[in-house]
Structure 1
Amino acid sequence: MTQEPLDQPITDVFSTSTKELSASERAKLDEQNKRLVPAFKAQKLEIDAQRHWDIFYKRNETRFFKDRHWTTREFQELLAEPHNTNQSKGEHRNLLEVGCGVGNLVFPLLEEQLKSGGGFYFYACDFSPRAIDFVRANELYDPNHITAFQCDITTEQVHQSIPSESLDVCTMIFVLSAIHPDKFGDVLQNLWRLLKPGGVVLFRDYGLYDMAQLRFKPGHKIADNFYMRQDGTRSYYFSEQELAQLFSSTGFEILSNSYVHRRTLNIKEGVDAPRIFLQGKFRKRSLS
C-alpha cells in the first residue's frame, strides 16, 4: 500500500532541520491553497481508498516498485541472525511489514535469511486484497516462513492474525503517509499492542517540503500536508517534530528521527532532483 520514487540515490544527508523554503517554493504552497479538494470529494476518497489501491495494483501488478535491498543498510535490526542455540525449538523473531504491497521488502529479507539459516518469521499485511494475492503467488511464499493477510491497519483487524506482544520488529516504509491523518494514532496504538516490550518500529516516509509536495497543483490539497494524487491515492508529508509527537504520545521511545535529504537521479526520465524523506526508529519501552 505504498507509492515511492523509482529513483537511484546519489547522496544521503541526515538532518533534524526542516528545509528552508525559497520565495518561489512558498509561492507554490500558497497557490495550492487557492483551490482545495472539496469536502465531499475528500470523504469519497476515504471511502474508496481500498478500491484505489486495488486499481493501482491491477494496473502495475509487480512492476512498479524495486526490491528494497537498501533496508538492511539503513536498519541493522533487519539483518538475519543465526538461530540461538539457547532458544526452544521453533522459536524465532517475528517481524510484521505493514503495507507490504507485493513483497518488495519482505521477500529480499526472506531470501537472504534462507541462505543464512536464521532470522525472522514474517507477517505481511496490506489494505489491498490484490496486493496480498501477488504476495501469495510469489515463488518464495511458504507458510512455514511467512503469513500474508489483508487488513485495515487502522482497525482491530490486525489483532485477528497476530497475537498481542509477539512482534520483535515492525516496518512501515512509505505507508503511514497513505492513511488519513486522523487515523495515525489508531495505527500506532495497534502496533504498540502487537510489539513485545523492547520491540521496534522501523519507519521511512515522505518528509515535509519534499519535491513531490511542492509539485502539487491547486485542486489536489486535502488538508495541511495531505494531498490527492491523480490516481486517487493520497500522500501525507511529515515534519520531524510531528512524527516525534505521534510516537512519543503513544508511549514509544525515540531512538532516531531525522530527515533524509537525498538527491535522486532517473537517467531514463532525465530527472535530477532533491527528495526529502523522514526516517526513524521507535522502541516500545520495556516494563523493567
Structure 2
Amino acid sequence: MGIGRSPAAKARAGLPRANPNDVRVKGFENHAGRMSTLFRPDSAGSDPTRRGSLDLAAGDDDDDESDDDVDPLDRMGNVERARVDDEREIGPAPRYANPASTIHPFPGRVFLEIGCGAGNSAFPLLDLDPHATVFCCDFSPRAVALVERRRRTLPADKRDRIRPFVCDASREQLCGSSDGNRVPPGCVDVCTMVFVLSAIAPERMPDVLRNVSSVMRPGGAGRVLLRDYADGDLSQRRLCDKGDGRKLGDNHYVRGDGTRAFYFEKRFVKDLFADQGMVLEELTVHARAVTNRAAGRRMDRRWIQCSFASASTPATPLPPPPPPPEPEWRRRAREAESARVERAAKVEAERAVREEA
C-alpha cells in the first residue's frame, strides 16, 4: 500500500516524499540518519570518549522504536512489524576512535566497500565525511560502470574522492597501487561488507578476510564492518522447506537463480575473523517479526551486524589468481597448427632426401 504512488498522492496519504539522501540497505532499516551515526566523525556529540565511534546498533538500543525508525507502511494496511529481543555481545577490542594522523596521499579517512553495487552506500559517505576517500569494488563490471557513470556527474572535489574498480575479492588482490585501480596497503580505516559474505562459498571466506586485512590500517586502528543474514532467518527456513537439493552444507544453500546464500551463527563469525587476527568490538543479532494480519502469517527476519578491529599486522596479499583455462576452440586451433607444422616439416624432409638421391 503506497507503493508506486506519485509524490502528491504520497503527501495526501501522509507518506514521506522520496529523499535522495535516504539510504536503505537491501530491505533493512538503515536510513541516512543512521549512516551519519555510523560514519560522521562528530556523531557522538560532546562525549569525547565516543567521538567517531562506529555504533553499529545506532537507534536500536531503546526498547521502543521512535517514530523515525518505523516505516510508515508498517503503520497501515495488514502489515505489522514487532521488535524481538536482540542478542548483543561486546568484545575486547576498544571503541573505535578517529585516527590521529592521515596516510599520505589521502586527506582524511579511507573507506573501502566490498560489493558496492550501484554505490548507494558509497556515495553518501562523501557527504558524511567531507575529507574521506572511498574505494568501492564489485565483481560485476556492469555495477562498477554504474558507479563510474554517477561519479562523473559529481563536482570535482567529490569526484576525486571516490574510486570504483572491478574486483572479485575472493580471488583477486585488493592491494596494489592507487593509480592502478587498487587500494594501497595499510591505508583503509573502515571496510564495509553489507550482505556480501553470504554470497561467497564458506571455503573462500578466509581468502576474502585475508584480502581485506592486507589493506587495513595496522595495530587494530581500523574497523571491518559486517552486516549479513543470521541463522534462523525466514529465507533460510523457506530454502529448507523446499527440500529439492538446495542445501549445500551447514547453513549454506543455493537459490533458484544459482546464487549462494549463507546464514551466519555468532560463533562462526567470531572464529572466521579471529583466524585473521581481527578482534571483536561489537556483535549484534537483530530479530524482527513481520506479521501479515490478513493472512495470519508471521515472518521472522534475522540478521547479524558486527565490528571487528583490524589485525595488528596486515595480512600478506592474496597470490595472483591462476591463468584461466584455455578455451576449447583455442586448444583445437593450437593443436591443428602444430599438426600442420609437423606435416610441413615431414614433407620438406622427404623432398630433401629425394633431391640428394
TM bucket (normalised to shorter chain) is: 0.5 to 0.7
- 2:106 matches 1:106: no
8 Å contact kept, 2:174–2:212 = no
Runs of 4+ in 1 over 6 A off after TM superposition: 82-89
CA 1:206–1:145: 2 relative to 1, 3 Å: same
Q: Normalising to structure 1: TM-score of the pair?
A: 0.67
8 Å contact kept, 1:75–1:202 = no
Aligned partner of 1:218 in structure 2 is 243
Show the 5 A alignment for 1:77-226: 77-80=38-41, 91-113=107-129, 118-138=130-150, 139-140=153-154, 143-160=159-176, 161-197=182-218, 198-216=221-239, 217-219=242-244, 220-226=246-252
Deviations along 1:232-251, whole A, 9 cap, x unmatched?
21110000000000011110
Larger Rg, first or second structure (1 or 2): 2
8 Å contact kept, 1:66–1:104 = no
SS in structure 1 opposite 2:184? coil
Which consecutive residues of structure 1, in runs of 5 or more, have no partner in the other structure?
A: 1-63
Q: 1:107 is matched by which residue type in structure 2?
A: F
Q: Normalising to structure 2: TM-score of the pair?
A: 0.55
Structure 2 distance, partners of 1:69, 1:282, is 20
Q: Answer 1 or 2: which has greater strand percent.
A: 1
8 Å contact kept, 2:174–2:183 = yes
CA 1:218–1:254: 2 relative to 1, 3 Å: same
Q: What's the offset of the Cα at 1:226?
A: 1.1
Structure 2 distance, partners of 1:96, 1:125, is 8
**Residue 301 (structure 2) aligned to one of 263, 269, 275:** 275
8 Å contact kept, 2:251–2:264 = yes
Deviations along 1:139-197, whole A, 9 cap, x unmatched?
44854110001101012431230111010000011000000100111111111111002
- Number of residue equivalences: 221
Instruction: Answer with 94-103 or 72-81: which moved more.
Output: 72-81
CA 1:175–1:129: 2 relative to 1, 3 Å: same
CA 1:90–1:205: 2 relative to 1, 3 Å: closer
Q: What's the offset of the Cα at 1:265?
A: 7.1
Structure 1 distance, partners of 2:139, 2:200, is 10
Structure 1 distance, partners of 2:283, 2:268, is 11
CA 1:120–1:265: 2 relative to 1, 3 Å: farther
Structure 2 distance, partners of 1:274, 1:165, is 40
8 Å contact kept, 1:102–1:135 = yes
Structure 2 distance, partners of 1:266, 1:233, is 28
Higher relative contact order (CA 8 A, sep 6+): 1
CA 1:67–1:242: 2 relative to 1, 3 Å: closer
Cα root mean square deviation, aligned: 3.4
SS in structure 2 opposite 1:131? helix
Structure 2 distance, partners of 1:143, 1:183, is 33
SS in structure 1 opposite 2:282? strand
Deviations along 1:3-38, whole A, 9 cap, x unmatched?
xxxxxxxxxxxxxxxxxxxxxxxxxxxxxxxxxxxx
8 Å contact kept, 1:80–1:119 = no
Q: 1:110 is matched by which residue type in structure 2?
A: L
8 Å contact kept, 1:69–1:105 = no
SS in structure 2 opposite 1:194? coil
8 Å contact kept, 2:277–2:312 = no
Which consecutive residues of structure 2, in runs of 5 or more, have no partner in the other structure?
A: 1-24, 43-51, 53-97, 177-181, 314-357
CA 1:159–1:151: 2 relative to 1, 3 Å: same
